[in-house]
Amino acid sequence: MTGRTSMAATAAPAAVATPTACYLGVAIPARLADEGARVALVLLALAREHSASLGGLLVAALMVPHVIAAPVAGALADRVRHRKLFHGLGLAAYGTGLAATAWALGRIPTALVLLLVLAAGCCAPLVTGGLTSLLAELLPERALTRAFSIDSTTYNLAGVLGPALAAMLAATIGPGAALFALGMAALTGACAVPLLRLPARPRTKDRTTDALRPAVLAAGAREILGNPPLRSVTWASSIGQIGIGALPVITALLATERHAGWAAGGLMTAFAVGAMAGSLTYAVKPWTRTRPERVVLLCLPLIALPLALAACVAGMALTTALFATAGWATGPLFSTLLAARERYAPLPLRTQIFTLGAGLKSTAAAAGAAGIGALGGLGAAPLLGMAAAAQIVGAGVGVVLLTHPPRNARRASASREHGTTPAVRRPARLRRHLRPR
């Protein structure tokens, strides 16, 4: 009996590890391509058209659909029967769009190139939140906390290696070949999608076309606005991301002011390495499995403190350590943000909520970079203080939204306490919020 128990205990982790390994085979190359493409597009525009502004337009065309196309991509993913085919084709279209742009820029009209990049960007939500939303169906519930921590490291890894890989390839084989290689990386991820253990959904009447109706496209946004934990973590993390998105601009100013050219990239590398370490630490020892929203709100001040101290110190070694410490706190934050989306999102809207949340974070980061860029004359120290303040504001907003649920949610809770059935159409959401698993 003991031998059989031991064999079962060793077999269980192996059963969990295999789906995780297959998932990483999809996520890592696709996200490397997503992060690296932003650098490769700028370098390609400079090499062929000698225009940094065109590079910015290309990056914007790739990034804007992260939030605009998110409701459509998420709604379709929540409704299609053959998810492997849908996600595989989405990643393949993304990679093909990047590879085609590598050839097209400078050879066809610029307007058509922008449309091509825009079309590729419409598939980008499947690379980020779309893939993450699959974890709950690939793994048992007991493994999800660790899986979300591991998944958050793929974002960190892509953030560190993607731009570096794009720059290295552009310097060695040319920016066009670099963008083409990144497109092939996304196609590699698409080829690994069939290895995921995603059974086809039960055959019902075809609801795919219904996913394009306005009411369906707005369902995820309504859920985020009305579900207290989802609403709290979404807005808190998005406000905090405004400050995080501003850090690349701030570090460039800091490097100039302190005459340390390496700091422009070195501080962000330290931040990203710290984030990866934080995610791995949380994967080994999670702080909670039942209330991930509390960890999100706790981590925001933990990010703010080292950033605020970095604005006050002069030594670059200490500044680098403080950036790494701030990055470390983002690891548990992102891991539990993903866990909160999975825990509180109703199953029919799960992918839509994941893609919308990822799109909002990307938009907030872009807004932070643009806003800080306009305030660059203030100097690096005040701007670092603003980035730290964004974390505190995000935490405060999150606490208020969590502790003051919408009126209809309070009414539904009171009705259940009095034994009546509330007139709401989404009781599953409220049950999941009020009764921990």
Q: What one-character DSSP code corresponds to residue 105?
A: B
Least confident range of 34-48, 197-211, 222-236, 374-388: 197-211
Q: What is the pLDDT of residues 155-171, one digit of tens each?
A: 888 888 888 888 889 88
> Do 7-193+212-217 and 218-404 fold alike per CATH?
yes
The residue ranking higher by pLDDT, 385 or 10, is 385
The reported pTM is 0.76
- The pair of structure tokens assigned to 144 is 């999800």
Residue 411: is its pLDDT beyond 70? Answer: no
Mean pLDDT of 20-33: 93
Distance CA 58, CA 38 (A): 8
Contact 43, 167 (CB under 8 A): yes
- 252's enclosing H/E stretch is helix 228-257
Contact 101, 120 (CB under 8 A): yes
Per-residue pLDDT band for 216 (boundaries 50, 70, 90) equals low
| The CATH number of the domain covering residues in 218-404 | 1.20.1250
pLDDT confidence of residue 246: 85
Cα separation values, 70 from 63, 122, 168, 338, 346, Å = 11, 8, 31, 16, 17
Residue 420: is its pLDDT beyond 50? Answer: no
Q: What is the pLDDT of residues 285-315, one digit of tens each?
A: 888 777 899 999 999 999 999 999 998 888 8
Buried b (16+ CB within 10 A) or exposed e, 209-240: eebeeeebbebbbebbebbbbbbbbbbbbbbb
Q: Could you tell me which of 181, 176, 41, 33 has the C-alpha nearest to residue 114?
A: 41
pLDDT confidence of residue 4: 42
The residue ranking higher by pLDDT, 15 or 376, is 376
Burial of 171 (0-12, 13-18, 19+ CB in 10 A): exposed
Q: Could you tell me which of 397, 363, 385, 369 has the C-alpha nearest to residue 304?
A: 385
What proportion of the chain, given as a percentage, has pLDDT over 90? 35
Q: Could you tell me which of 389, 365, 217, 221 has the C-alpha nearest to residue 303?
A: 389
The residue ranking higher by pLDDT, 118 or 437, is 118
Helices (H) and strands (E) in the chain, counts: 21, 0
Contact 12, 143 (CB under 8 A): no
pLDDT confidence of residue 19: 85
Q: What is the pLDDT of residues 46-103, one digit of tens each?
A: 889 888 778 878 888 888 777 788 888 888 888 888 889 999 999 999 999 999 999 9
Q: Could you tell me which of 391, 385, 227 has the C-alpha nearest to residue 298?
A: 391
Distance CA 98, CA 56 (A): 16
Cα separation values, 399 from 147, 231, 404, Å = 26, 10, 8
Contact 151, 338 (CB under 8 A): yes
Residue 386: is its pLDDT beyond 50? Answer: yes
Q: Is the dihedral of CA 210, 214, 219, 221 positive or negative?
A: positive
- The pair of structure tokens assigned to 351 is 């992918």
Q: What is the pLDDT of residues 340-361, one digit of tens each?
A: 988 898 888 888 888 888 888 8
Contact 363, 66 (CB under 8 A): yes
Residues 6 or more apart whose CB falls under 8 angstroms from that of 5 comprise: none
Write down the domain spans for the chain.
7-193+212-217, 218-404
What is the CATH topology of the domain spanning 7-193+212-217? Growth Hormone; Chain: A; (1.20.1250)
Mean pLDDT of 215-233: 84
Strand, coil or helix: what is 108?
A: strand
Q: What is the pLDDT of residues 387-397, one digit of tens each?
A: 999 999 999 99
Mean pLDDT of 121-145: 88
Mean pLDDT of 243-265: 82
Mean pLDDT of 272-296: 87
Residue 14: is its pLDDT beyond 50? Answer: no
